[in-house]
Amino acid sequence: MLVEPVTSSPTTASEEGAAIQEQLERLLSSPYFSHSRRFPSFMRYVIEQTVAGREDALKERTLGVEIFGRRADYDTASDPIVRVTAAEIRKRIAQYYQEPGHENELRISLPSGSYIPQFSTLSTGKEEVPPQIAPVAGAESPGGFSDAPETPPHHHFWRGFAASFVILTILVGGAVWAWQLQHRSPFDFFWGPILSSNDPVLFCTADQKQYSSIELRDAVDQSRQTILPDSLTAVVIDDLSPIINVAGLLKSNGKKYTLKAESATNLTDLRAGPTIFIGAFDNTWTLRLTAPLRYHFVNNPEMTQLGIGDSNAPASTRWTVNRQQQMATDNYRDYAIIARFTDGVTGKVAVIVAGVARGGTIAAGEFLTNPDNLAQLMRAAKAAGNKQNMEIVLSTQIIGGEPGSPRLEASYFW
Higher pLDDT, 397 or 16: 397
* Other Cβ atoms within 10 Å of 266 Cβ, number: 10
pLDDT score for 252: 82
DSSP state letters, 241-260? HHHHHHHHHHHHTT--EEEE
pLDDT of residue 122: 57
Q: Is the pLDDT of residue 95 over 60?
A: yes
pTM strictly above 0.85: no
Average pLDDT, the chain: 81
- The more confidently predicted of residues 9 and 82 is 82
Q: What is each CA distance from 262 to 34, 163, 278, 352, in whole angstroms?
A: 37, 56, 9, 13
Kindly report the backbone phi and psi dihedral angles of residue 57, in degrees, each rounded to the nearest multiple of 5, phi listed first.
-80, -10
Residue type, 385: G
Q: Is the pLDDT of residue 216 over 60?
A: yes
Cβ-based neighbour number of residue 312 at 10 Å: 10
pLDDT of residue 104: 85
3-state SS, residue 8: coil
Q: Which of 65-69, 178-182, 294-298 has the lowest mean pLDDT?
A: 178-182
Range from 102-106, 162-166, 317-321 carrying the lowest mean pLDDT:
162-166
- Average pLDDT value for residue range 13-34: 87
Percent of the chain at pLDDT > 90 equals 46
User: In this predicted model, what pLDDT tens digit does every residue of 330-379 receive, in sequence order?
Assistant: 899 999 999 999 999 999 999 999 999 988 999 999 999 888 899 999 99
Confidence of residue 128 (pLDDT cuts 50, 70, 90): very low
Rounded distance between C-alpha atoms, residue 197 and residue 187, angstroms:
15
Query: What is the predicted pLDDT for the residue at 132?
Result: 40
Partners of 333 in the β-ladder: 397
Residue 390, pLDDT > 90, answer yes
Say if residues 286 and 352 touch (Cβ distance below 8 Å).
Answer: yes
- 390 HSE (CA, 13 A, CB side): 23
User: Which residue type sits at 166?
Assistant: V
pLDDT at site 120: 85
pLDDT, tens digit (0-9, with 9 covering 90-100), for 243-295 = 988 988 888 888 999 999 898 999 999 999 999 999 999 899 999 999 999 99
Q: What's the rounded Cα separation, in Å, for the pair 368 and 371?
A: 8
Note the pLDDT of residue 211: 55
Would you say residue 166 has pLDDT above 50?
no
Q: How far apart are CA 62 and CA 71, in angstroms?
A: 10
- Cα distance between residue 46 and residue 28, in whole Å: 14
Alpha helix positions (H), 145-212: 153-183, 186-195
- At 13, is the pLDDT very low, low, confident or very high (cuts 50, 70, 90)? low
Average of per-residue pLDDT across 45-63: 92
3-state helix, strand, coil in the chain (%, to 5): 40, 25, 35
- Output phi, psi for 92, to 5 deg: -70, -35
Q: Using CB atoms within 10 A of its CB, is residue 100 exposed (0-12), middle (13-18) or buried (19+)? A: exposed
Residue 296: its pLDDT value, please? 97
Phi/psi at 149 (5° precision)? -65, 145
Which of the two residues, 209 and 313, has the higher pLDDT score?
313
Sheet holding 305-310, edge to edge: 295-299, 305-310, 320-322
Q: Is 348 helix (H, G, I), strand (E, B) or coil?
A: coil
Closest CA to 282 of 399, 360, 369, 368: 360
Query: Are the C-beta atoms of residues 267 and 196 closer than 8 Å to each other?
Result: no
Whole-angstrom distance, CA of residue 17 vs CA of residue 31: 24
pLDDT of amino acid 233:
57
Helix (H, G, I), strand (E, B), or coil: what is residue 284? helix
State how far the Cα of 253 lies from the Cα of 246, in Å rounded to an integer: 11
